[in-house]
Structure 1
């Protein structure tokens, strides 16, 4: 099996329009003119994904003050995302990519190692998209814990 496509710094970010936790469509194009952190995670309400989402929530003001919006994307249904958002007090959009087409286009779905086995699944990944819609950072196989802190250091915020 071939290595899945991975985005590189300078690539045009693949466009998307996905439903949020309330079923409203959110598009990457809505953020043109601002920098946006787009992160992909496997499943709402699981320990690692909850830790990562809460870290983004707790750093949202600092990221926002530095000009970065945040979008979280998972294959969960909008209903599950709404429960996750409400349970954890998340204040940034959570988007549903049920068919995983956006994740695939971004290189965030495919072969990965899970407990020593090669499986197909969501590859925990984070991207920074600049004001012009280009990839400024592409981070694959990130760890949930401590990731947001490292991202802030990388971004100088």
Structure 2
């Protein structure tokens, strides 16, 4: 897993519109990169809607947002359109970006262990350095978590 103080790995992926999104497109800007397990599930929908509903406040702090999961482009498009997200969602079906951030690993739900996407959010400064990592995401209040952390 990446740590606070690490440089963000360069990445490239396809968003919900089939457009290539590169980290280099965001160089010199503050960025929130959030990883979520599965589009159109209750927790992921609540998390995305929290970010959508607080998008203006996050922009006022200078942040852009990118969501990433291993869902297909079609699933990302459906999710994006259903909730009118104002930020791109990357379809990382081969998990290259997910793994480069250390957002893939062992999970446990109801006693069953399996591998999957870890719900992590990386807060990146304009120099490409990770300022914070949220590993205990509160899906319904995720934007408030981020705003609290960036205003410390």
- TM-score (norm. length: structure 1): 0.92
Q: Is the 8 A contact 1:123 1:141 kept in 2?
A: no
Counterpart of 1:75?
70
Partner Cα distance (2:95, 2:136) in 1: 17
1:87 maps onto 2:87 in alignment: no
**What SS class does the counterpart of residue 58 from structure 2 fall into?**
helix
**Structure 1 residue ranges (4+ consecutive) displaced by more than 3 angstroms after TM superposition:** none
Match of 1:120 in 2: 115
Deviation at 1:130, TM superposition (A): 1.0
Deviation at 1:141, TM superposition (A): 4.2
Shift of 1:147: 2.2
Aligned residue pairs, count: 152
Check whether the contact 2:138–2:145 (CA below 8 A) recurs between aligned residues: no
The one of 24, 27, 31 aligned to 1:29: 24
Q: Deviations over 1:68-118 (max 9, x none)?
A: 000000101111111111111111011111011211111111112222222
Q: Which ranges in structure 1 are unaligned for 5 or more consecutive residues? A: 1-5
- 1:107 pairs with one of 102, 107, 113: 102
Show the counterpart of 1:149. 144
Unaligned runs of 5+ in 2: none
Q: CA RMSD in A?
A: 1.3
Give the TM-score normalised by the residue count of structure 2.
0.95
